[in-house]
Structure formats: C-alpha cells, structure tokens
Structure 1
Amino acid sequence: MPDNEGAPKTGRRRLAGLLTRRRPTSRAQRFSTVLRRIGDEADERIFFSELAEVFGDRVFGALMFIFAVPNVLPLPPGTSSVLGAPLILIAAQLAVGRRTLWLPKFIAGRSILREDFQRLVGRTLPYLRRLERFLAPRFDVMFGIVGDRLIGIACFLLAVILFLPIPLGNMLPGLAIVLFSLALLQRDGIAAIAGWVATAASVAVLVAISGALWIAAKAFVHALF
C-alpha cells in the first residue's frame, strides 16, 4: 500500500546505484529487465522519487507505463481514479515539452511495497517481454519536439478519462497510454501509431457511453414527469 513518508536520500542512491552499477544509463537495459531488478533489489518500500531517478531520460515513458498498465487489468472500482492523478501530472509535463520530470513532494514521497510492485511486475513481464521482441527505433517522424508534445496531450486527455468515474472506461485509455509509453521508451513509431489508434477507439467508446447515459437520463426524467 502507498504511504506518504519521505524517501531517505541514501535509499534513493542505493537503488539507483544497483541498477546502473554496470551501465552508464538505464537506456542500455531492456525496460523489462529494469523493472525486474527494481523488484528484486529494492528495499521494503519503493518510493516514486526513486523510480524517477532510476529511469533517467526514459522517466516519462517508464512512469506512465507503471501507472497505466494496472488499468488494463481487472481492478477494484475507484482504482483508476487513484492511478489517473499522477498520470495527469506526468503527461501534462510531457505535453508542455519538459525534458526532466518534476514530482511534487506529496507524490515523490509516496511509496509502494516491494511485494506489491513485484506482483504487478510478475503479471506484466510475460506480455512486456513478448512485445519487446517487436519494438525497435523506427519512424522518427512520430517523435521529436512536436511528436512528443502531441503524445503528451493525448496521454493527458486519456488520463483525465481514467480519472473520471466512467463505467468500463478505464481499459482502452489505459491500453492507449501503455502503447504510447512503450513508443517513448523505444522510440518506436509503430507503437506510437498503435497508441493513436487506441486513443481514437477510446474517444469513440467514451462518446458512445456518454450518449447512452444521456439518453437513459432523458428517458428517466421523462418517465418521472
């Protein structure tokens, strides 16, 4: 379970050192490998500020993946709203073109139990490793100053949808953000295109659900009066 205690500086340096001891940056390692090593080598709790330091120049894609991928899985009601809040903050910074991620203290100081992180990673790794076989840097036109900001805007809107209490409204937006995250991590334009397709599908479903709810509400009011 997350808590609000501040992360000790020595703990942050320890985790970052474990994951970069033999390599200059986390980009030299597969994302799935970094996730597994975090779960294996972290202390009892993993602070969000630690994760931001560990992933370095891949922090936007990495943290959006971590917060978005649970939404693709069956979750208790209300969980998507909790996960949507940090996604909104991260995506907003990507949308305005920040190159480094800023986390306010109330988010940076939050943490997750290592066992919970391991459980999430354990459910995700088999699928992530299969996807990584097909991911590769390509179609650079999808990224850059304009492309990254457009992805940030899309992820911001998707995160807002996740934050709203829309019935069955979390899986498609969560999937779209996951695809965009993988695209940013590997600079893979094909994954970015898949993310845009999933975004369009998410908007279409949102419009359909909203229309159905509006029609139902009008029918209910008409029946009453």
Structure 2
Amino acid sequence: MDKPEPDRLSQILPRLAAGTGERLTVGELVSRMGERAHTALLVLFALPNTLPSIPGTSAITGVPLVYLSLQLALGRTPWLPAFITRRSFSREALAALLERAQPWLERGERYLHPRLAALTTARAQQGVGVLMLILSLAVLLPIPFGNMLPSLAIIFFALGLIEEDGAWIIGGLLVMLVGVVVFSTVLWGLFKAAVFVFLGAFGYAP
C-alpha cells in the first residue's frame, strides 16, 4: 500500500491557529508541525517580515530564525530554548497572518516539485543552513525594510528544502544576492548621510 503524501505547508499552517485559547505558545506550534517542524518554522517566522506588520516584528522573529538556521547548518534536529518556546502569540493575530499568507503559499506550491536533487541532499541542506543563518542575522538589523528580502530568501530556501526542489534553492540564492545589493546601497547611503552630518556639525562644507 502506497504511503500517503504528506500535507503541504499551505495545508499545515492554517491549522496552527486552531483552538479556543486567546494565545498560542511557540512550543505548541512546534509540536503541531510534526516532522516538518524545522523548515516549516523557518517559513512561519520569516513570513511576518515579508508582509506589512507592526514595527519591531523582526526583533521578535529574528532570534528563532537564528537558532533554527544554525541547527540546520549543523545538521541537528530543531530545538528552541525555553525563553523562546514560552513566548506566545495572539491566536487571532496568527490566524490573520496565516490567512493573508495562504494564497501566496498555494500559488507558489503549484510550481514546487522535486528536481535538481543535488541541491537538497543532507550536505547541501547544511550549506543552505549557513546561508539562512547569515540572512537571519540580517533580519535582526534595525534597517527600515531591510528585513524583507532576507526573509523572502529564507522562505524560498525553506520551501525548496520541504519539497526537495533545487530550483527554489537557486531562487532563494538570487533573492539573497539582490538583498545584498540593496543592503549595501542602503548602508552606503547611511554612511554618506553620517559623513554629511558630521562635517556639517564642525562647519565644513559638504
């Protein structure tokens, strides 16, 4: 008898907010995701940073992303410390976020299927984990809109690993490279602005 196909992420995520309590802990989310917890959690924590949300969200979601990416890079099972697993979300807010994200996930999953297997092997996953770790650290930086492209790249990588689709790994790499260009441009602009202010403070003409 053939083994049934596992549920896709767009089917798993809407069920996470099910229940009657007002709040849902990160620990409960991990237990509900089952065998896909690692990559699914990466998507879940990256999602809020790709959608208009409350300022400061990246500071909350970035720390779990760092932990999960590091463990993926080390080839370990997902684990989060107690200070993260005890953190809770409003069930209503989580349901609203997942409802907004679901159509986009469903659309993306139409193009997800196993291919370019060499990019999704266990060794390759560790390499992708290193890239995700770099992106997760970028998410933590307090740069306006600077966390959107890193978070999107993390989602591309995670979806590629979930469905063993190497093409999406390549897509994540391209998004990451675009993010590097944008990030470098923003940093250069901030540096020039700081120099301008510094020189102006001492009476030097720009």
TM-score, normalised with respect to structure 1: 0.83
Q: 2:89 aligns with which of 101, 104, 112?
A: 112
Q: 2:28 aligns with which of 21, 43, 50?
A: 50
Q: 1:179 aligns with which of 144, 152, 156?
A: 156
State how far apart, in whole Å, the 2-side matches of 1:143 and 1:161 are: 24
How far off is 1:121 after superposition? Answer: 0.9
Letter in 2 for 1:156: L
2:116 maps to 139
1:158 maps to 135
Q: 1:67 aligns with which of 19, 22, 45?
A: 45
2:12 maps to 34
State how far apart, in whole Å, the 1-side matches of 2:116 and 2:44 are: 25
How far off is 1:54 after superposition? Answer: 2.6
Segments of structure 2 that go 5 or more residues without pairing to the other structure are: none
How far off is 1:43 after superposition? Answer: 4.0
Backbone CA RMSD of aligned residues = 1.7
1:78-107: CA deviation from partner (whole Å, max 9, x where unpaired): 221211111111111111111x11111111
TM-score, normalised with respect to structure 2: 0.90
State how far apart, in whole Å, the 2-side matches of 1:163 and 1:191 are: 24
Residue 101 of structure 2: SS of its match in structure 1? helix
Correspondence 1:73-84 to 2 at 5 A: 73-84=51-62
Provide closer, same or farther for how the CA distance between residues 111 and 76 of structure 1 changes in structure 2, counting only shifts above 3 A: closer
State how far apart, in whole Å, the 2-side matches of 1:214 and 1:207 are: 10
1:125 and 2:102 correspond: yes
Segments of structure 1 that go 5 or more residues without pairing to the other structure are: 1-23
Residue 167 of structure 1: SS of its match in structure 2? coil
1:15-60: CA deviation from partner (whole Å, max 9, x where unpaired): xxxxxxxxx99x7112111112233x33423222222223233222
1:92 maps to 70
Identity fraction in percent: 38
1:208 maps to 185
Residue 28 of structure 1: SS of its match in structure 2? coil
Letter in 1 for 2:183: L
State how far apart, in whole Å, the 1-side matches of 2:68 and 2:35 are: 14
State how far apart, in whole Å, the 2-side matches of 1:206 and 1:81 are: 18
Provide closer, same or farther for how the CA distance between residues 104 and 134 of structure 1 changes in structure 2, counting only shifts above 3 A: same
1:6 maps to none
